[in-house]
Amino acid sequence: MASPSGLDPQPLRFDAPASASIPTAGHNHNHAMNNIHKKTHRSQAAWSISSIKAVPSIFQSFPVFPVFPVFPLPKPPTFLDFPLFPVNFLTSADNQRAARATFIGCGLESERARWHRDGMAEGMARDVAARILQKRERGEDFVENIAEKELAAAALSGQDRSLAVELAYGCVRREGTLDFLIDRKTEGRTQKAGLRILLRLGLYQLFFLDRVPEHAAVHETVELAKRLGFAPQSGFVNAVLREYVRRRAETKTLLNDLEKTKPWIALSHPEWLWKRWSERWGPDQALAQMRLNNESPAVFARLNTLKGTHDELTALWQAEGVEFVGRQFDWAPLVFELKGHPPLGSLASFKKGLFYLQDASALLAPKELGAQAGESILDLCAAPGGKTTFVAQLTSNQATIVAEDVQPARLALVRENAERLGAKIEIGNAAPDRKFDRILIDAPCSNTGVLRRRVDLRWRLQEKEIPRLATIQLGLIDQASRRLKPRGTILYSTCSVEPDENQAVVRKFIESHPDFRIDFERELIPYRDGVDGAFVARIVRA
């Protein structure tokens, strides 16, 4: 069958022999961003030689490991009169130069050897990315949580950490497109999960990661296949990737054409999401939203005035090497976009509680709640505490704030953040008959406004979940109405861009509660407003 662009897919007829496979099987982003003060453990260095072709044949009988050993070595194998350099040694720029000088001094440095030497550390990044994707395939956790644990245990430089994250997250975001490309060359034959992960990694580098040369993408993926127990299938991996190298320009044209005919494949989203968004916003706006969801999101931080001033924070950031720019939004004047930084959990500015990592859109609900000093405030769905602590900041700790959550165990996150930020908050369920001046509901939702951050959510979420969530959301507003003082205010908020969870829920509540009215509504759409998606509605008792 011809492809949508008229190109012959030309499937590869290669029957890969069976081999032992990688074992496989089929959150809250604000807390994940702020809970980064983890200890990093340096694992034992692996030792390898990337290519012995650059070495004179007289030396090729010396003991070397052509691939990463699967067992720990008591000491590195020797090459000539000096040990081969461990991968984590080469993550240091100074050590890379020392290694290069040693190879050149022995007359062994060739162009190919230089390329392999530079790729050794990046090879470790690919190993980490593959482990993240394997665990995600087995359903162990959200990919963001898996990545946090794997990176904490890996001995990677900052640059290689970034590569590992880009590869892992990119393969998940682009999974639909990558699987389409794999199926074109394998006639739709089912691949072992581990092998499909390898093909996704290689194809992602070829089509969505410009920094990696074609030959590096192919070679490093083939070597990764060997390290992960897929040596018998490495020829198959090589054949698929080299075929796409030969037809790269045609394939890019195919993907561009697919944006007009099957945009959910070209931009790697579930078809049902494309249909919902294109019907509501129009095709151009839906395409813009899907393109945005495939990009890495900006990192925002808000100044915490409970602990310091604008000048104190920015001066400390400059001393700590944090690159930042101030951002102005009509609802959030105290926000910075972080462009580059050391590990944030290690910074004095973080430990002192001078800032909190939080998208600018998340500040809209606390602002529109309108809390005042001396009032009683209930946050009904408080964890992990970003909005709750901002309410405390807006009231200068002069309001009585109670934090509850539909999952009480998560209130430990609120306590952790409140202590670091100096926010005075009562944590735990209040008496059922206690009444409040204002109640904030940051309701559980589909999270379709934060798909850039919840990387694998698009593949987990099903359309049938939306009406179920709407029922829960309506119940939360009804519960809040019974705990509200006369003339009190409810601020309903989600990070969904679905009207079924937003305007429809609020109007259904108003229909059955004539003593309430909608005082304010606002919706933030990522492609239009440049921040995460959000909806807020201020509901007041008449």
Nearest CA among 227, 211, 91, 231 for reference residue 154: 91
Element (H, E) at 299: strand 299-303
Cα dist from 539 to 195, 376, 489, 502, whole Å:
53, 17, 6, 13
Within 10 A of 495 (CB to CB), how many other CB atoms are there?
26
> d(Cα 49, Cα 61) in Å, to the nearest integer?
13
Phi and psi (nearest 5°) for 522?
A: -155, 140
For the CA atoms of 490, 491, 496, 502, the dihedral, rounded to the nearest 10 degrees, stands at: 50
CB 4 within 8 A of CB 253: no
Cα dist from 48 to 26, 192, 387, whole Å:
32, 27, 49
Phi and psi (nearest 5°) for 328?
A: -115, 125
> d(Cα 110, Cα 351) in Å, to the nearest integer?
47
- Catalytic position from the list 171, 381, 445, 495: 495
Burial class of 156 by CB neighbour count within 10 A (0 to 12, 13 to 18, 19+): buried
Q: What are the contacts of 209-214 at 24+ separation with CB within 8 A?
A: 209/166, 209/167, 209/170, 214/245, 214/248
Q: What's 483's DSSP letter?
A: T
Q: What's 530's DSSP letter?
A: S
Catalytic annotation present for 495: yes
CB 426 within 8 A of CB 510: no
Nearest CA among 179, 191, 189, 181 for reference residue 225: 191
Spatial CB neighbours of 21, under 8 Å, sequence gap ≥ 6: 192, 193, 194, 195, 229, 230
> d(Cα 17, Cα 20) in Å, to the nearest integer?
10
> d(Cα 461, Cα 176) in Å, to the nearest integer?
14
Handedness of CA 260, 265, 269, 270 (dihedral sign): positive
The angle, 0 to 180 degrees and rounded to 10, between the axes of the packed helices 158-173 and 193-208 is 110
- Transcribe 402-439 into DSSP letters: EE--SSGGGHHHHHHHHHHHT---EESPPPTT--EEEE
Catalytic residue numbers read 495
